[in-house]
Chain A
Amino acid sequence: MKKHIFYIFLGVFLLFMTSCMEEQNFDQIDDLSITPTIESSIIYVESPERLINLASGISFYTAAFNFDAFSQAYFAERVLDGSITYELENTTSKEMEILFEFLDEGGNSLDSEQFFLEPESTAVLQREVFYGGTGRSLDIIANTSSLSVSVRNLGNSTSISSIPSPKIVLRSSAKFRVRLK
C-alpha cells in the first residue's frame, strides 16, 4: 500500500513539475493604446428676426462666454486631434455675418471662424474645421478659456422674411480624440 501511495504522489509531483506555461510578456500592457473619440455639442445661439430689427447699428450681438471644457487638464493634456463643426441657418430677410472666436484666459483671440449668411436661405451652412495633425494647432483648443460670438446685420432693420418664424441659428459641436493611455 505504501508503494501505491508513493507512486500516486510521485505522479502528482511530476504533473506539477512538468506543467508548463507559454512565455508571457506582461510588459505588453505598456503598449495598450486607449484613444476614445468624444463628441458633444458646444454652443447654440438663436435669435428671431424681430429682435435683430430692434437693434441699432450694424453690430447686433456680441458676447463672450466662459467655456472651460477645453482647458480642463484632463482634456487639454490628452487631446490628440479632432474638429469643430458649425451649422448655421439664416431664415431672416437680411444677410448676416457671424464671427466665432476662441479666446485665451486673457481674452486674446486664438482662432476665429467667420460666416456670411445669405438672406432667407433654406440651406444649412455647414463647416468642419480640423485641429491637430495637418489641421490647425491643437494649442488653440488647449488654451481656449472662453468663446466669443459676434453677429452683424449686413442688411436693413425693417424687413421681415416671408419664411415662418424667421431667425438666425448657430449650432456647433466638437469631436476630439484623446489619449487616456
Chain B
Amino acid sequence: MVKIFFAILFFGNLLNAQNKQLLYDFIEIPQALIVNPGMETGFQWHAGIPMLSGLSFHTGTSGVSVNDLFANDGLDFTQKFTERVLDGLSHRDEISTNFQIEVFSGGFRIANKPDQYYSFGMYVESDFINYWPKDLAILGFEGNADNLNREFDLGHLKTRGELLSVFHIGINKKIDRNLTIGARAKLYSSIFNLNSTRNKGYFVTTEGQNNIYSNTLDADMELRSSGIQEILDDDSLDLSRTLTKRALFGGNLGLGLDIGFTYSLTDQTVFTGSILDIGFVYHNKDIKNYTLNGRATVEGIEIILPQALANPNADFWQDLVDEIEEIVPFDNNENGFVTFRPTKLNASIRYNFGEPSLSTEDCNCGPDTYLNDSRIKYVNSIGGQIFVINRPRGPQAALTAFYQRRFGKSLALKTTYTIDKFSFSNIGVGINSQIGPVNFYIMADNLLAYNNIADTHYASFQLGLNIISWEKK
C-alpha cells in the first residue's frame, strides 16, 4: 500500500503545470485551438484521428525528484527521506499531474462564412495536485514530543484531483486583417472528484494548566468527494460501464468557457492571449463528504476532589473520549458542492522574420476568399509566452521564450525554454509535419533531464494525428 502511495506521489502525479507552451500558437496544428480559440487558422477542415488526435501528459514535482529518494546509492532511506522530504520540502511544494486524451475532434469552415472556423470535440482530462502537508508529515514522523508550543498547521493539507470528460464547440472568427478572436463553450461531465483545499486549524502541545501537558486540537477540515463512494462500496459494479456512462453526460455536470484572440501589432509582430476553463462543475451525485470541526483541549483524566466523589462509578476515560467526540465531531454528509476548474491564462508576443513563406500576392484566390486578407507568413518566429494557472495556493506562472522555424509547407519546428516552479532549465522541442493531408505532431519537454529521467522535476509529452485540408491558395 505504501509503495502504491509513493508511486502515485512521485509518478502518477507527474504533471503539474498543464502548460502547453510548445503547442500554444503553433498555428499549423488544429489542437492549438484548444489552448487559444482565437488562434489564426488556415484550415479548410480538419478531422482528428479518434483517440490519437491529441494525447498529452504532464507531470511535475517541486523540491524532490524520484532520483533524490530512490537512487540506488546505498544511503539510508529514512535519512534521505528525513533530509530531503521532511526537512527539504515546504508546504508550497507540490506534486501534480495532468493528462488529456482527445476522443474525437474536428473542425470546418462554412463556404458562405469563410472568415469563421468552427471546431468541436471531446476529450478526457485528469488533473491532480497535492501540496506537501509539511506540518502533518512532521507530526506523523516526529510526533508531538519535543515539539512543545509548536502549532501544527492543519491547513497544510491541500489536495485536489478529478477525472472528467469535456465536450466542446468553438468558433474562430477573423474580424479583420489584424484581429482574430475565438471562443469555446464546454460541457463538463465529471467522472470523479476529490478535494480538500479549505482546511484550517492547528494541533499544539503546551504546558498544561493543571496537568503536565495540554493537547489542543482546533480543526475546521473538510474532504469532499463525488463519484468515488459507489466505486468503493459496490463490489458488483461494472466499472468500465459506469465510468463510460459518467463520461457521456452521466456524471456531475458543469459549464465552461474559453476565450482567446490574436492581434497583429505590425506586419511582423503578433500578440496573442487566451483564458481557458472559466467554468465550474456542480456535484450532486454520489457525494460523500467528511468533516472534522471543533476545538478541544485535553489534559488527561482529571480527578478533582471532592467534586469527583459525587459519582463514584464514573468512567472518566470514556467520558473524556465521548466529550472530545462531541466537541470535535468527525462527521460525514452528502451535501452537493461546486468546484471551479483550474482557470488558465496564456499570452504571447511573436516576432516573425526571414523569408516570407506565403503572401497575399501568391494567393490569387478571388475577391471573396478569406486568404485575400491574410498576412504574410514568415519562416521564422521568435517570441515569449506567459502561462498562469489558478491553483489552491494561488496562481502559478511559467515564462517561456520560443523560436519557431517552418521548412516549406511540410514541416515546422518549435523549440522553447521555460522557467517555472519546477525547473529553470526546461528546454522543449515540438515538431509538426504535414505529408499530404496527414498531420502529425510530437512534442516533449525538459529534454535536458533525459540523461536521467528519474531526476527530473518536470516532464511533458504530447502527440497527435490529424487529417487536414488547408485553404486553397
Contact = CB atoms under 8 A, between A and B. Distances in A.
Q: Which of B3, B144, B145, B205 has the most CB of A within 10 A?
A: B145
Nearest to B3: A29
A136 interface: no
A156 to B, nearest CB: 19
B452 A23 contact: no
Nearest to B75: A28
B78 interface: yes
B142 interface: yes
B411 interface: yes
B210 A171 contact: yes
Contact of B141 (A4, A34, A48, A87): A34
| Majority SS at the chain B contact face | mixed
Interface residues of A, number: 56
Interface in B64-109: 66-67, 69-72, 76-78, 81
B3 A32 contact: no
A87 B212 CA distance: 8
A123 B411 CA distance: 88
Interface stretch (A62-70, A95-103, A105-113): A62-70
Contacts of A34: 140-141
Interface stretch (B273-281, B298-306, B349-357): B298-306
Given A9-B431, A22-B71, A36-B139, A41 B300 contact: yes
B165 interface: no
Nearest to A25: B72
B452 A46 contact: no
Q: Which of A8, A25, A28, A65 has the most CB of B within 10 A?
A: A28
Range class of the B interface residue count: 35 or more
A44 B299 contact: yes
Interface in B98-141: 139-141
A49 B24 CA distance: 81
Given A44-B303, A66-B316, A37 B450 contact: no
Contacts of A29: 2-3, 6, 70, 77
Nearest to B78: A33
A51 B306 CA distance: 7
B470 interface: no
B142 A5 contact: no
A172 B316 contact: no
A25 B76 CA distance: 12
B315 interface: yes
B305 A37 contact: no
Contacts of A175: 145
Contacts of A21: 67, 452-454
Contacts of B433: 5, 9
Contacts of B70: 24-26, 28-29
Q: Which of B141, B212, B454 has the most CB of A within 10 A?
A: B212
A7 B214 CA distance: 70
Given A41-B214, A65-B316, A173-B300, A22 B455 contact: yes
Contacts of A178: 143
B100 to A, nearest CB: 21
A164 to B, nearest CB: 17
A177 B144 CA distance: 11
A46 B300 contact: no
Interface string A33-67: 11011111111111110010000000001010111
Interface in B249-300: 298-300
Interface in A151-181: 171-173, 175, 177-178, 180-181
Nearest to A87: B212
A22 B208 contact: no
Contacts of B67: 21-22, 24
A44 B301 contact: yes
A1 B140 contact: no
A171 B211 contact: yes
A19 B70 CA distance: 18
Contacts of B299: 41, 44
23 contacts: A1-B407, A4-B410, A5-B435, A12-B431, A26-B70, A29-B2, A29-B6, A34-B141, A36-B145, A38-B144, A39-B143, A39-B146, A40-B205, A43-B211, A43-B303, A46-B210, A47-B305, A48-B306, A63-B312, A65-B316, A65-B317, A68-B317, A171-B212
Given A37-B143, A47-B306, 16 more contacts: A12-B431, A15-B450, A20-B452, A20-B453, A26-B7, A32-B78, A37-B144, A37-B146, A39-B144, A39-B213, A41-B212, A43-B211, A44-B301, A45-B304, A68-B317, A181-B2
Closest 8 CB pairs of A and B: A36-B143, A41-B300, A19-B450, A41-B211, A39-B145, A37-B145, A47-B305, A25-B72
